[in-house]
Amino acid sequence: MARTVQTRFKSALPGSGFDSSGSARQGKRRVVGQISVTSYTSVGESLTAADLGLSTIDYIAIRHNDQAGGKEGSEARFVEYNNSTSDFYIVQAGKPATAGSHTLQFEAFGDALDAPELT
């Protein structure tokens, strides 16, 4: 299991943020990028908020660059993210994807690591 996270786009989302206690908070961020997995195994791969430059992940969407796999593209590939364990899993034709390399795209929203608190 080896992966590289490359951020392609990072944007601050001013205003409309709250911390876990419900207090107003500046520092929401949108991050878009690519994950290169060079040796995937079916036990999943770790992807933490810090890997994306965030302190928390409010929302994340990950998709496989080659969504159609197998013979004649008959085996759909998709990626599932588990928030409680901070792992993602690549699924092909309803089963764990085979070992090998995969390129994924992600979009995530959350609290920036370097965000100031409102006072």
pLDDT of residue 115: 53
What structural domains and CATH numbers belong to the chain? 3-112 (2.60.40)
Check residue 117 and give its pLDDT.
52
Which tens digits make up the pLDDT trace of 23-42? 776 778 999 999 999 888 77
Which of 8-22, 43-57, 99-113 has the lowest average pLDDT? 8-22
The better pLDDT of the pair 59, 115 is held by 59
Largest CA distance in the chain: 58
- Per-residue pLDDT of 71-96, as tens digits, reads 776 678 899 999 999 999 999 888 88
Question: In this model, does residue 65 exceed pLDDT 90?
Answer: no
Sequence-distant (≥ 6) Cβ neighbours of residue 60 within 8 angstroms: 52, 81, 106, 107, 108, 109
Query: 7 is written with which tokens?
Result: 């951020």
What is the C-alpha separation between 107 and 68, in angstroms, rounded?
20
In degrees rounded to 5, what are phi and psi of residue 73?
A: 65, 25
